[in-house]
Amino acid sequence: MKFSKSEIIASNLGYSVNDNVVTNNDDDIIKASPSSNGYRKFTIREKGNTRKLDVFVHRLVAYNKFGNNIYEDGICVRHLDGDKLNNKNSNIAIGTTRDNTMDRDQNEVKQYALNASKQAALKKRKFTDKQVQDIKDYYNNGKTYKEVMLKFNISSKGTLHYILNNTYTSSI
């Protein structure tokens, strides 16, 4: 993911995070709200610039802790306890995407992998639900495997067997 490096600007403007609380240069508390992806963020505007910048709290903490190392290729900011809202200094680290995945609850990781595997399998499906029903109807009208395979361009008896005997849903 490409970041705008807005945490550098925020840090230079005096924004900081202490014990999950964001403050500005005047020690005013800044409201940080969850973004659509679940991470807390706040908006700043550079002096003389009309463009607003989103600053993710965990990335500001990481920048203040690790400096420009957070921008190295293959490095991401991690929440050690897997909680996107816990931006305490002790909970923020940097590492690889794999490190970040391993920080999450292992049941959640397994469920995510299972869902990703199912989605990948669905994308590989060749036939629509209507085509599957047509294949089943054709076979159930007394046609042989060979006749069904020829009509529907199915190259494997195993594929036809699977279509006829399993719940086959497509993503099409």
pLDDT single digits (tens) 100-155: 877 777 777 677 777 777 776 666 667 888 999 999 999 999 999 999 999 999 98
33 lies in the same domain as 84: yes
- Residue ranges making up the domain that contains 76: 6-104
Task: Kindly state whether residues 130 and 94 are assigned to the same domain.
Answer: no
**Is 61 inside a domain boundary?**
yes
Last residue of one domain, picked from the residues 74, 104, 134: 104
Identify whether 1 is part of a domain.
no
Residue 152 counted as domain residue: yes
In a domain, 114, yes or no: no
Residues 31 and 89 in one domain: yes
- 140 — phi, psi (to 5°)? -70, -10
pTM here is 0.62
